[in-house]
Structure 1
């Protein structure tokens, strides 16, 4: 049994295959039989066969466009072996947005599944690169034969880039965060330690692997510890309940939108959740009503704070504290340093709000191709604002760019949004600032109401803030809308809301 930590993804997978070769690594709900169930030995063989067969050299990029697929994970390990990079495309984006990522990353190959065959072929033709259907990837289970000269054997090292993930681009053009093998391995170790993942766990992955949340919070950490991953092509609440009943996963990761779909599903009330020892959420802000619904079922909702650039496992709220720290992101993950700084770049006083800065072995150093992502001291500036409570835990209060300055007072929208979201008439909401001659900025609440809301909803909703929020923080204007604008990852696009408000004046 190996006694030293692996320093590359290829070495890690080889260790897992040696320790328990026939233990299930990936089980998939897709239709291709050759990928539906892979043990660790088979996953390692597939990855090495791909590394030998793919027409890529060290430093080159391969893009992926499709739903979740075990081949995407095998491809990541194969490219790591070659010293090449995987560029997962967000399948929810528009063709022009895909084109922008391809223009920036310049891959040599675009691998796609059947659902995205047509746009993938069009993208490949427009960008002069080869398109390969996932069915063409070598799925053979025979061990690959290494060439005599050692070509394709351990070309990728710890410091080699292996994963290029583009930010969601809510404030401009997306940027590609360059994750090295060392970054990913550090994040796996941190995430697995905090979540106490072992080979006895079964992890349900329903979130998209094109995002670091779906890939790096549980999926890769689970594989690093020899656990079994139940991989769903895409999120479907009915399929999640089916998996709970049939496969009894011990852990899963959700985001507010998918958690809401589960809680509101007809099967929620009678579903047996006892197999789950925790439900983790990849979101800095979680609606209180969803937390109450889960906690009422005895299911602790743990939280992970992070970003595309930070692994993303940066701050975590574990199951022991989940029920008595509602609204908190928890404490810094092992080996991760957190610093809160003011607008002058200096650390803020205890209890004051500051920008979250993160330093750790899982934090990327560059944006593609060679743009520095860190300050001179190695900290990543997140743009998120938080305060640290006396017990050392952190509470995120919003984005720095979203902070409202009204009458000389700083107002953090997240604080207001969390209270409004608790009201039974409010389905979702966003609070933004609008230029105001008297106050500098005025606080504006834009809300999506439930069907139960009466015509005179505004007074009832605002009254719920009485005694819970200082008067100067109350919204001065209210707008009802049918839906909030969101990115492909589900983030509310506040610049679009502010632009809409200007158009209404």
Structure 2
């Protein structure tokens, strides 16, 4: 289905609602969805809203064990499958505990297991209003969605907001440069959302210089810091790059640029979205002066209500309504926010979050390793890739690491390189020195 709007989607929503009710789905039940981008997933989301059920999008790129863990943790009452993705489909694991959210987005955690961020109906609608204002969405717009809907970025930055604004949406099953250029030239969309890895693939493609992109009045960009040369490449084609900062826990739009701001301050992540607040906080909890780095915190109707079945993690992440992002940024005198670093060790590779603790949990099972750590290394194509830094016993075969990762974690999470060192750099208290690890891997 190409160029559909919400009225065109309504028959699918009604059919999906009837199917869910026929399967016994009630308010508070979790319904999983796995598959390539498809209108059926959007219909499932709106059907869940009508019933009061909860949609749990599943990343088809994950390994079978990861998918099964999420299915069990969420307590899926039903699993819906979209177009063939090649994923091993997990089984539904019904749980009697109800949930008041509309969407649970699973995001990898520093403990090595993902957490389900509970997003209410109000949060999704607040996020949609943020998007409507930031992108000046009208019924005349046409959004081309190429990023996966199993992430809140692909789902909620433009796609759902466009439908709620009366605009049209076209879904590509998944991204490829040729398909993107063909769709833009043939369908003439006005907006799309990209991540740095996708932007890089487009700019390096032979069709970049000649492709007719004139229908695009702007693109959204996010998931990680967008390198200035990429922004400049799109600006040179007359396409403003509106940066969007946020995460699953914020639905995700938290800080973003308008079209004018994108042109005025390339590289900035913008200002707080219309229906939320943002601030920079020092380690002692006080507000940071202008120009001083600190942790970015977000508060607003778009913020999650908490993590599913994780009260301790919820209490750690939320305080007085403020969500601690774990990211470092600063605010300049003009009120613009700038991303500077990650307080947490998350690696963002091609728009996918990779948490070192998750990979280190696999390394812990490999015989012959005495010390190990995962660190992100800059990569011209993916932004960052994971690298394993190891201390091993004599005669250790690195193939044991590769074998252990097979079928355990998604391919994009596998270490791209293995660096053997005599010892990991540590502080006097025994903590691994992340910056020294980065220096070790930077040239590899």
- Short-chain TM bin: 0.7 to 0.9
What are structure 1's unaligned runs of at least 5 residues? 1-26, 29-36, 130-155, 404-412, 415-443, 451-484
1:319 equivalenced with 2:259 (yes/no) = yes
Report deviation, 1:103. 1.5
Cα distance in 1 for partners of 2:253, 2:264 equals 21
Query: Residue 221 and residue 40 in structure 1: after superposition, are their counterparts in 2 closer, same or farther (change >3 A)?
Result: closer
Which residue of the partner structure matches residue 84 of structure 2?
A: 115
1:78 counterpart (36, 47, 50): 47
Match of 2:428 in 1: none
Match of 1:48 among 14, 18, 39: 14
Task: Provide the C-alpha distance between the structure 1 equivalents of 2:298 and 2:411, rounded to a whole number of angstroms.
Answer: 22
Tell me the number of residue pairs that the alignment of Structure 1 and Structure 2 aligns. Answer: 363
The answer to whether the 8 Å contact 1:336/1:360 transfers is yes
Structure 1 residue 292: deviation in Å? 1.8
Task: Give the match for residue 271 of structure 2.
Answer: 331
Q: 1:390 to 1:322 in 2, by over 3 A?
A: same
Q: 2:332 aligns with which of 389, 393, 399?
A: 389
CA apart distance, 1:327:
1.8
Give, in whole Å, the separation in 2 of the partners of 1:283 and 1:108.
Answer: 30
Residue 140 of structure 2 corresponds to 200
Tell me whether 1:249 sits opposite 2:218 in the alignment.
Answer: no
Report the counterpart of residue 144 of structure 1 in structure 2: none
Aligned to 1:262: 202
Deviation at 1:380, TM superposition (A): 0.3
> Aligned to 2:341, what secondary structure does the other structure show?
strand
Q: What secondary structure is seen at the aligned counterpart in 2 of 1:384?
A: strand
Over 3 Å counting, the alpha-carbon distance change for 1:240 and 1:489 in structure 2 is: farther
Say if 1:317 and 1:331, in contact at 8 Å, map to a contact too.
yes
Give the aligned partner of residue 32 of structure 2: 63
Distance in 1 between residues matched to 2:417 and 2:208, nearest whole Å: 36
SS in 2 for 1:391: coil
Instruction: Please say which of residues 344-353 and 257-266 is displaced more in the overlay.
Output: 344-353
Distance 1:449 1:309, change over 3 A: closer
Which consecutive residues of structure 2, in runs of 5 or more, have no partner in the other structure?
349-374, 382-404, 425-444
Partners of 2:279 and 2:297 within 8 A in 1: yes
2:62 aligns to what SS in structure 1? coil
TM (norm. structure 1) is: 0.66
1:98 shift after superposition: 0.6
Q: Give secondary structure in 2 for the equivalent of 1:208.
A: coil
Question: Residue 401 of structure 1: SS of its match in structure 2?
Answer: coil
Shift of 1:128: 5.6
RMSD after superposition: 3.0
Q: Contact conserved, 1:284 with 1:396, CA < 8 A, in 2? A: no
In the superposition, relative to structure 1, how do residues 116 and 375 fare at CA in structure 2: closer, same or farther (>3 Å)? closer
Larger Rg: 1
Larger RCO: 1 or 2 (CA < 8 Å, sep 6+): 2
Residue 337 of structure 1 deviates from its aligned partner by 0.8
Alignment of 1:157-196 (within 5 A): 160-169=100-109, 172-196=112-136
Alpha-carbon separation, structure 2, partners of 1:392 and 1:351: 10
CA contact (8 A) 2:26 2:53 kept: yes
TM score, norm. by length of structure 2: 0.75
Aligned partner (choices 307, 320, 326) of residue 367 of structure 1: 307
- C-alpha displacement of 1:110: 1.1
- Taking the aligned partners of 1:90 and 1:254, their CA distance within structure 2 comes to 18
CA distance in 2, matches of 1:119, 1:52: 27
1:14-53 matches, within 5 Å, as 27-28=1-2, 38-53=4-19
- TM superposition shift of 1:369: 2.8
Q: Tell me which residue corresponds to 2:229.
A: 289
Instruction: For 1:111 and 1:86, locate their aligned partners in 2 and report how far apart those are by CA, in whole Å.
Output: 10
Residue of structure 1 in register with 2:62 after alignment: 93
Q: How big is the shift at 1:378? A: 0.3
CA contact (8 A) 2:184 2:215 kept: yes
Match of 1:399 among 321, 342, 360: 342
Equivalent positions of 1:417-496 (< 5 A) are 446=377
What residue number does 1:304 align with? 244
Question: Displaced runs of 4+ in structure 1, greater than 4 A?
Answer: 444-450, 487-490, 496-505
